[in-house]
Structure 1
């Protein structure tokens, strides 16, 4: 029989802490010019805390270049997390560009177009 975890939602708390610490590390310590103004949108941690998917958005710059730069700097950022987190293991970081904001803008444009065409028909 599997023992229940004594701390429920620990994975969510670890992911939130990783998100806060990564945001600060990227803004203050990462000096790569390919990484512009990055916002860490969400972090998903595997149950064994071995891997973490970090979803980010970019305000200025090329998202693909930024994704490449962040994945190349993942070791540096992981080392910074190791110094900040009070956990036994620090997950391997995998950065992915979050396209949610772009999709939302596209959907808003489609809705506005549909509303304007309906208004013209009436």
Structure 2
């Protein structure tokens, strides 16, 4: 990945987080975290990975709301990005935090000492 693409990814991630926290008043976007951005090498398309800090129960509803507002997000990004064209945006749910928590729990369970056998003497 080129240095320019990495910089664009970082800038989009920071600006999307800022827009969602300060500019958007949708309660579905509260506690929403932008975890990663992957931009195509030609900067025409960006995948934005999001997760909710409290729950993933309404993830389909949240993704639908984000997709419905993507023209707004592109417009806001256009004010900040110094690119000729703002990339098309697509939103994806990032479940890496939940997977990490699950793996951590499994490791903790596996590291517990085995139960003592009953002493029947």
TM range (shorter): 0.7 to 0.9
Give 5+ residue unaligned stretches, structure 1.
1-7
8 Å CA contact 1:36–1:60 kept in 2: the answer is: no
Residues 1-122 of structure 1: matches in 2 within 5 Å? Answer: 8-61=2-55, 62-116=58-112, 119-120=113-114
Give 5+ residue unaligned stretches, structure 2.
117-121
When normalised by structure 2's length, the TM-score is: 0.86
Pairwise CA RMSD: 1.5
Q: Which has the larger radius of gyration?
A: 2
Aligned residues: 113
- Range with bigger deviation, 78-87 or 27-36: 27-36
CA distance in 2, matches of 1:31, 1:50: 28
CA distance in 2, matches of 1:36, 1:97: 15
CA distance in 2, matches of 1:66, 1:36: 10
When normalised by structure 1's length, the TM-score is: 0.85
